[in-house]
Chain A
Amino acid sequence: MSENNYYDINLSKTVSENRLLGLWRMMKGYHWLYIGATIALAVATISRTGIYLVLRTFIDDIVIAGNFGRDLVIIILMFIGLALFQGASSFASGWMASKTAESATRRLRNFLFDHLQRLPYAYHAEAKTGDLIARATSDIDAINRFYSDQAIGIGRILLMFIVNFVAILQLNTRLALISVVAIPVIIGVSLFFFRLVSKAYEAYQEQEATLSSRLQESITGIRVVKAFARQGYESYKFDQENWQKFRLGKRLLSIHSLFWPISDIICGAQMLAAFFFGALMALDGEITIGTYMAFASLVIWIIWPMRGLGRLIVQTSTGMVSYNRVAELIKQDREPLTEGEYQAEGAVKGEIVFNHVYFEYEENNPVLKDINFICNPGDVIALLGSTGSGKTTLVNLLPRFYDPISGVVTLDGVDITQYPRKYLRSQIGIVEQEPFLFSRSIRENITYGVHRKVSDDEVVQAAKFAAVHDVIQAFPKGYNTLVGERGVTLSGGQKQRVAIARALLKNPRILILDDSTSSVDTETETQIRSALEHLMQNRTTFIIAHRIQSVMDANLILVFDEGEIVQKGTHQELMQESGMYRDIFDIQTRIEIELEKEISSVNV
């Protein structure tokens, strides 16, 4: 799947039940870099050990032997050379490891972002936004840390141990054995403590969250707090949570304040024991003074890093859990956008036929039952019915947000499941009741989804037709005004008109309108209505209607009840027969009569 330059492999193919294997495969393309990082790390470790061995030669063969000629210079140069080499390879290792980690996570982020927008709508309708975001952000961060800190950190400690142990073994076998006696104890203690720490830390973090929501609640409810003059009480409540956090922090600290000195004592005792026996051996002439000195330094590099091992091992479990959560998401199937048996050219005409269409979200609970109707190009189809009667579901079938479970929807005589989704959607415009606007400028929101350069004139023209130009002009920054949290808040009616402008620019053949204007005042309603009329010209239009006034001119009115079309026809036809439609119409007439009565009763 190299359909773009932003991720070169299909990561869903790398998913594995074995989490370590999965994490390894997710690095694909950077494996050699990561191996390179490990090799460089080994080289750096060996060089550092080499430095101490040079030091041993320096003491034994130069200082003690009193050999201060050219050999001294050579030794010193070797010493500095090794240090340089060690520095260079340790930098190379860090560079390669972070390049791997950052590249792999960048690719993962890009992949996941694209993946999310290409997952079927049905998936999104079920998923929780917060959960998806957590997987896309903090879980990816955790995977990044696994690559850049934890895996390489564990590698570093192990390499340090192996290399230095082998070096001491070369110096003297007995010394080597003496210097690692306490290592299992150190690892055990550190694992034990960091498990405790991670639990205490979790509790501490949870309390942080509690405290934050308490704070947020108090700020958002400030009017209530003030209205009841409950400032003191709020302070009291906040203080309780605040104090609880203090207490949990104290507990976390107590664990830390025990672990570090205890591990200090164990490591210190091990180190001192090694010094002691080493010194006695040197005293007895079993080893040279240089050997002792090298040994005394190497021992430090074996013992002290070990106590960090527990922390790293405990932390990797977060990385693993995060991997699972991300893997679960990326192995979901995308909906193909460009695949389709029928490759249409140019624009569609807009003839739509529903032929025995059924649909259900969950088994045996049909939402649409045997839907049949024909819509000619340019027709206006009105859908009327209560909430949950299937109107929205029906229009969701057109852009293939969902596919029917049986029956066929055809567009210009071709089954819509044979059109590539992308082409199909390019032919359809949707204006929702509360349209979603993106937190960018108004101009960008209007041109959103138009895949070409759009001139300012065109944008203004569309906004004028949508009757929103004046509103936009009134903002200090005009069309460059930001929408959303960081910018202005638009009212429902204004948002709708921006969406109408957006649809006008897109210029689709088929239009889906959610015509609910109940929340706006009369003036705005007239404006929206005229904007809509403009938009509907020469397009096949589906209106989800809530009022009879907006359906009277439709070519076909479909009255829905519990997923079925109970009546269809034009306004005139439906008025002829008894049924839901005429009942609705009667009520509206009756309301007017009642209103008149009400007014006149006042006027008496």
Chain B
Amino acid sequence: MSTFEEFEEKDYGKLNTHIMKRLLSLLIPHWKWVVGFLACIAIVSSLESYTTFLGARIIDAGIIAGSREAIINTVMLYGSLIIIQSAAVFGFIYLVGVLAERVRYDLRKNMFNHLQQLSLSYFSQTPVGWIMARLTSDTERLSDLMTWGILDITWAVINITTAGIFMFIINANLALIVVVMLPILIVIAFRFRTRILYHYRRSRKMNSKITGAFNEGITGVRVIKALSREDDNLEEFADLTDDMYEASFKAAWLSALFLPTVQVISAIGLGIVLWRGGLQVQVGTMTIGGIQAFVSYVTFIMWPIQDLARVYAQMQNAVASAERIFNLIDTEPDVKNRPKTVDTKTIEGDIRFDNVHFFYQKDDPVIKGLTFDVKKGEMVALVGPTGGGKTTIVNLLCRFYEPTQGTISFHGVDYMDMKLKDIQSRIGMVLQTPHLFSGSIRDNIRYGKLNATDEQIEEAAQLAGAHDFIMTFEQGYDQDVGEGGNLLSVGQKQLISIARAILAQPELFIMDEATSSVDTLTEALIQRGMERLMEGRTSFVIAHRLSTIKRADKIIVIEDGHIEEMGNHRELIQKQGKYYNLYTQQFRQELEAQYDIFNKPEPVES
């Protein structure tokens, strides 16, 4: 499907001022934390350079000058600086770490709240996995860049700068040698890091392909065995692991080459420093402690350089993440209130579809010119083959989608002039595969009316016919339903979703009947629950059961996006058309199921 290709992820993004501004705006509400961690890391970083300088003083002012007092004083100073430094370390880890969590929290919260505003069409066109990745891995990457990334850069820059300053203080000539060396190191480091990250990401991609292959190999094992595909599969799989090996080995040995390269280059620089420095000691422009300090500074310069390179490489990915996140946040909902709306106290009354058209893509209409009237309190059954457009009609009715042409009106008012919330909060809906949320049964019923009392919940469950099976659970209404309601059967889920709808006291009721078979008792309960809900309410049912269909005031046969037949049961049977065929096929299937013909057939009494 071409839509998926749009979701193929870009790995690299370019940092521009626009994105930069938006990224920084994430930190603005927490600017005090930013100032705090920047101050702490500045202290840590410059103290690191200064203590190395103190190490040189121990040699020069202490050992060589022969002053025990100078040694003691310097060590005391050094010691107190370590304590200050540790305090600052505590400060920056805590501040930047918590800030990182906070930025993640903010990002997820913003995105989630925005998602709630987006229209149904967004969700039907965007894979769940794509959305999930925005709120998880992209969020991680972005917040890491904006906190730890900034911290690392600050540390590295200050560290290199202060080390440079102290080197200049000790000996400007020699410091110049190091300064010349620096850009070479930085360029090499950046190149390495970018390459390493590239191969690393390649290996992660292969890894997800390998996971996919395992998944298929396991879930499809029966077919594989039956078709004796083992050898071919292994060959194909080995190609994947070869690629994975190639990528991750490359990333690994490049990493193994990276630090030694930096070290060797700095060692060459250091060699020159030692050579010149040694000579200068003779003329008195350089001290032995100074040599010691240079050795330390140059040896440990690889760390800030490594950090700079790492952040630089990660930045490109993080910017790509940022683009995707901002893309989500910037998506406008397709369905939203018009600038001018009328206040509606109710949507009760006649409903009219007037020449309603709907399409996602212009050349592929889904609903083509639908016109019908429904009187207040009527029950409408929508029947027809799968993919004919029944669900779309219901989505239009709820204004999850809006007609691309034509109007839908409640008691004569075009629903486009109403507020979304006014419409949707007055509709009750029971889905074919009822979606429950993890939590207790009670929580799930309460979803219909958040401030309902326990009594009201039980009453709704009684009316829905769900009370009895709920009481068979050890924990009754507090029984956990599992993720998505997995721990319950489809029939039970449907009863609970009916109770949920009853509690909501909707003015318009929509039901998508389950096609999968539920046991006869539950089936009867569901039927009764539905009847309760429909009493005195206008209702739409995507119907599969004959009893439901026969009871409808109006049956609409939908095929290929238009009305094929419309009327009540008697009229349509007499017509001997599409409805007649659907009905007889369904009749056979239902009776077969009813007689349960393969299980000890009871003598049929008719």
Contact = CB atoms under 8 A, between A and B. Distances in A.
A99 B218 contact: no
B504 A253 contact: no
B89 interface: yes
Contacts of A55: 274, 295
B527 interface: no
Nearest to A101: B252
Contacts of B295: 55, 293, 297
A550 interface: no
B574 A603 contact: yes
Interface stretch (B236-244, B309-317, B350-358, B534-542): B236-244
From A219, A280, A546, A592, residue with most partner B Cβ within 10 Å: A219
B108 interface: yes
B217 A221 contact: no
Contact of B598 (A6, A289, A384): A384
A269 B79 contact: yes
Contacts of A59: 288, 291
B601 A580 contact: yes
Nearest to B504: A228
B157 interface: no
Contact of B216 (A75, A231, A438): A438
Interface string A226-242: 11111111110011001
Contacts of B456: none
A594 interface: yes
B105 A245 contact: yes
Contacts of A64: 288
A272 interface: yes
Nearest to B259: A90
Main SS of the interface on chain A? helix
A79 B267 contact: yes
B169 interface: no
A283 B113 contact: no
A588 interface: yes
B278 A63 contact: yes
Interface in B79-105: 79, 82-83, 85-87, 89-91, 93-94, 97-98, 100-102, 104-105
Interface in A439-482: 439, 448-449, 451, 476, 482
B31 to A, nearest CB: 19
Interface size class of B (residues with CB under 8 A): 35 or more
Interface stretch (A210-218, A341-349, A367-375): A210-218
Main SS of the interface on chain B? helix
B104 A246 contact: yes
A362 interface: no
Contacts of A88: 260
B115 A506 contact: no
Which 4 pairs across A and B sit closest by C-beta, in order of nearness? A94-B256, A449-B227, A83-B267, A98-B252
Nearest to B573: A602
Contacts of A6: 234-235, 237-238, 241
B90 to A, nearest CB: 4
Contact of B75 (A68, A276, A438): A276
From B268, B271, B570, residue with most partner A Cβ within 10 Å: B271
A435 B220 CA distance: 9
A217 B288 contact: no
A217 B438 CA distance: 8
B263 A110 contact: no
B256 A95 contact: yes
B198 interface: no
Interface string B228-252: 1111111101100110110011001
Interface residues of A, number: 161
Contacts of A216: 128, 132
B93 A257 contact: yes
Nearest to A547: B592
A188 interface: no
Given A132-B218, A217-B484, A451-B232, A260 B89 contact: yes
A133 B218 contact: yes
Interface string B191-209: 0000000000000000100
B260 A87 contact: yes
B93 A256 contact: yes
A279 B289 CA distance: 12
Contacts of B589: 518
A112 to B, nearest CB: 8
B112 A87 contact: no
B463 to A, nearest CB: 18
A500 to B, nearest CB: 14
Interface stretch (A113-121, A178-186, A320-328): A113-121
Nearest to B517: A518
Given A229-B421, A275-B75, A486-B4, A594 B212 contact: no
A333 interface: no
A387 B1 contact: no
Given A91-B257, A117-B224, A217-B484, A253 B291 contact: no
B214 A132 contact: yes
B222 A121 contact: yes
Interface string A512-547: 000000100110000000000000000000000010
Contacts of A599: 573, 584
A482 B425 CA distance: 40
Given A137-B207, A253-B94, A590-B604, A425 B227 contact: yes
A218 to B, nearest CB: 8
Contacts of B87: 261
B10 interface: no
Interface string A1-42: 000111000000000000000000000000000000000000
Interface string B532-561: 000000000000000000000000000000
Contact of A260 (B93, B221, B420, B424): B93
Interface in A287-313: 289, 292-293, 296-297
5 contacts: A63-B288, A226-B400, A245-B104, A279-B63, A283-B66
A118 B230 contact: yes
A584 B128 CA distance: 46
B264 to A, nearest CB: 4
